[in-house]
Amino acid sequence: MKIGIANDHRGVYLKEKLMEYLEHSGHEVINYGADVTEGVDFPIFAKKLGNGVLNKEIDYGIAICGTGIGMSIALNKMKGIYCAKISNISEAVLCREHNNANVIAISADTNLELVKSMVDKFIVTSFSNVEKYAKRNDMIKEIENNG
């Protein structure tokens, strides 16, 4: 599987550890993020990751910033990107099963072992395609397209 990771200056360490883990697990990982710990503007990297998803360069995206919130907001401004800010394994599963998220956003302060577990669950979970969830996702797309 091809996975893209974007991060700001706060997420450099977690990105490096997560990339190492994912590559060791057999995934191809593309780095869309900052490699410096001096302050950078996270929307630049969020856009690169979002474009990677939209251009089908990657299957899924992972965004890391101080809280995960800023990256999530920026990514969700891009038509066709469905980013969930997650904090636990249940959210990693449900954002795929119910919302068909194609990107997750994580706080740079999250424990590495928890991040590994969340990412593992996110990338192996499929959209359930249950009628009520499909309908709700179509409603989101209608808002995205027409306001």
Our measurement of the distance from residue 7's CA atom to the centroid of its chain's CA atoms, rounded to an integer in Å, reads 10
CB 5 within 8 A of CB 30: yes
Q: What is the pLDDT of residues 8-36, one digit of tens each?
A: 999 999 999 999 999 999 999 999 999 99
Active centre residues (catalytic) = 65, 98
Instruction: Please tell me the distance from the alpha carbon of residue 94 to that of residue 98, in angstroms, as a whole number.
Output: 5
Q: What is the pLDDT of residues 32-71, one digit of tens each?
A: 999 999 999 999 999 999 999 999 999 999 999 999 999 9
